[in-house]
């Protein structure tokens, strides 16, 4: 599942712009940015199953605080 979200984030990032202009283009770009962010967040999660629940741990600390 996590890999599918990583693939979706990559696909959204590399999605070509349709031949639209003006407000429709701006809406498409905003939606692509939101889609990418959503998919990338889930794609970066560390999954586990705890007491029958799928738990996705997402580290929101800045990279320097993670020790990377």
* Mean pLDDT in consecutive groups of 10 residues from the start of the chain, 68 residues: 89 85 88 92 93 94 80
Q: According to the model, what pLDDT value does residue 68 have?
A: 62
> What domain range is 12 assigned to?
2-66
H/E element, 43? helix 22-43
Angle (CA) 43-44-48 rounded to 5° is 90
Q: According to the model, what pLDDT value does residue 67 have?
A: 72
C-alpha–C-alpha distance, residues 29 and 17, integer Å: 8
Q: Into how many domains does the chain fold?
A: 1
Say how far residue 65 (Cα) sits from the centre of its chain: 21
Q: According to the model, what pLDDT value does residue 17 have?
A: 80
Distances (CA, A) of 2 to 9, 12, 25, 38: 11, 15, 30, 12
Cβ-contact 28, 19 below 8 angstroms? no
């Amino acid at each position: 599942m996590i890999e599918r979200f990583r693939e979706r984030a990559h696909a959204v990032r590399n999605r070509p712009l349709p031949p639209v202009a003006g407000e429709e283009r701006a809406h498409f770009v905003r939606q692509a940015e939101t889609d990418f962010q959503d998919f990338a967040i889930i794609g970066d999660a560390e999954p586990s199953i705890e007491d029958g629940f799928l738990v996705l741990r997402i580290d929101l600390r800045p990279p320097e605080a993670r020790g990377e």
